[in-house]
Chain A
Amino acid sequence: MGLRKFSLRAFLKKNFDFITGILSEAGLTVLIMGIAIAICLLLVFIKSVI
């Protein structure tokens, strides 16, 4: 009964702010780790050149 009434669209609409908020925070961590990996790559490249 409960499942038949469940609407993904309504769920996403109701929790839009929460879901996008979690994704924003995940984006922040991805940004930090992306920068960190780029730095490590660059450092190894610089050392190999030197």
Chain B
Amino acid sequence: MILPLEREDLKVIGYNLRNICYLVAALLFLPIAVAVVCGEFDTVPYFLIGSAIGIILGCILSFSLYTKREMELKHAIVMAALAWLIAPLLASIPIWLANATASYIDASFESISGFTGTGLTLAVDIDHLPHSINFLRHFLQFAGDGIGIIVISLSILGRTEMGSVLAFKGEAKEIGIRPSIVRTSRIIIGIAVTFLVIGTVLFTAAGIREGLDFGTSVFDGLNHSMTAYATGGFSTHSQSLLYYQSIWFEVVAMVLMIMGALNFNLHYAVLGGKRREILKNIEVRLLLFGLVTSGLLISTNLLFANMYPTTEALFRKGVFHAVSAQTTTGFQTVYPFHFMLMWPVFSMVLLSIAMIIGGCANSTSGGIKMVRIGVLLKSLGREIKRALLPRSAVMTGTFHNIDDIPLTDKIVRSAALMAMSYLILFSVGAVITAAYGYSLEDSMFETASALGNVGLSCGITSPSMPAGLKVMYMFLMWAGRLEIIAVLVLFGFVIFGLRKGVRR
């Protein structure tokens, strides 16, 4: 029986949300440093206003909803769902004040796209945005999706307590690297910063090689490194990586995108000495298979459609977009309208499938996730075997994901439920987009991109798109980042509260 909602439930959720408000307020101070270094003093007040609103909201929650009660799983899930709404809304304030977007709804879209690591953008004239605002867009992806806002808040403000473990679950991260959740959070940050440094150095070297000046190389390198590892996909240029026309940039991006799509637990195991894990892990094997298969099929289709006749062009257009879609990053090396008007439907559908499947669980990527696909495939194989074996035969099975994990009915059911709810949401999103007059393949492509937190666009996402579609894509990005379940629990919480009322 579901216990009735109490006023104390709301207090627990609200009180724990205060940390997210303080965190966003603190994060907005980093772009101020960039503004000062770049001499953009006119943008400093925008960040200060955003930060002040975050602190005031945090204080209000802290004083008005103070409670000593510990968080339970339902509170943690609802808190995570709300945190992923409140944080982007706070961070959108400087973007809106700086006129980087045409309206506040566009700024909110940009901020949600940033925090969820999607990369669909409604920013106006990205190439000429102030450096500090551009840095904020990229930093949101690194902090939000590359690390995770709740991870950061736990690492800085959290204690080793049950509520922290539950908050992790609410954010769709089931990480058990270390017994202490604070230590785990710091390891995740350490891994992210390691790849950030490596990526920045490589991108900077690529920029200098292509003739960019040192300052621009470092700035673009840092920003692209943040969004590549976070599998976010924002770029400092409206043409994304196409702007550079550089194979070196694209190769570095591909390396970082693949790194970002790998499981945090796998990084920890491999960097800790378990190197063989990289070959045994079910997710790595499936990711490798997915990348090679989608790369092969898309390249074949593009070649025989006479789109790209050379090996280099096939690699830089076909394989690059296969990697960008599968890792759910969203960097592009073609104009969005090329997808809509020139690319064959078969390649578009393959990219959509890759975006729906996504990368590894507990990584920065979105989608259904490789481990669930692996579990469902293993389960399918087991069912086929069961039909062929005698009725008395006992079927067991395991899959290797850091440890050998038994394939239980509970794991299979959980994977199937997530995949099913994901596909239902995808279908609804694609049909609604198509209802606005777009073709079905374009609608599927853009919906898969928003729901999978990818960011590849065939041109539907633009400041002039219908407001209804903007709101729906914001919802899809939010639901996709939280892996849907948290959103459903939040709705259940609200509906239950409205029907039964809240007890004092």
Across the interface, which residues of A come within 8 angstroms of B319, CB to CB? 33, 36-37, 39-40
Across the interface, which residues of B come within 8 angstroms of A33, CB to CB? 251, 254-255, 319
List which A4-50 residues lie within 8 A (CB) of chain B: 17-18, 20-22, 24-26, 28-29, 31-33, 35-37, 39-41, 43-44, 47
Closest residue of chain A to B254, judged by CB? Answer: A33
B309 within 8 A of A: yes
Q: How far is it, in angstroms, between the C-alpha of A31 and the C-alpha of B254 when the chains are bound?
A: 12
Q: Say yes or no: A44 contacts B278, CB within 8 Å.
A: no
B368 within 8 A of A: no
Q: Say yes or no: B272 contacts A17, CB within 8 Å.
A: yes
B259 within 8 A of A: yes
Q: How far is it, in angstroms, between the C-alpha of A22 and the C-alpha of B273 when the chains are bound?
A: 10
Closest residue of chain A to B315, judged by CB? Answer: A40
The secondary structure that dominates the A interface is: helix
Cβ distance A33 to chain B, nearest Cβ, rounded Å = 6
B102 within 8 A of A: no
Interface residues on A, range: 20 to 34
Q: How far is it, in angstroms, between the C-alpha of A35 and the C-alpha of B322 when the chains are bound?
A: 13
Q: Say yes or no: B299 contacts A29, CB within 8 Å.
A: no
Cβ distance A35 to chain B, nearest Cβ, rounded Å = 5
Also in contact, A44 and B273, with CB within 8 A (given A32-B291, A32-B292): no
- Smallest CB-CB A-B distances: 10 pairs: A17-B273, A21-B271, A40-B314, A36-B319, A21-B270, A40-B311, A29-B255, A24-B275, A29-B258, A36-B295
Q: Give chain B's interface residues, CB within 8 Å of chain A.
A: 194, 198, 251, 254-255, 258-259, 262, 267, 270-273, 275, 278, 284, 288, 291-292, 295-296, 299-300, 303-304, 309-311, 314-315, 318-319, 323
Q: Give chain A's interface residues, CB within 8 Å of chain B.
A: 17-18, 20-22, 24-26, 28-29, 31-33, 35-37, 39-41, 43-44, 47
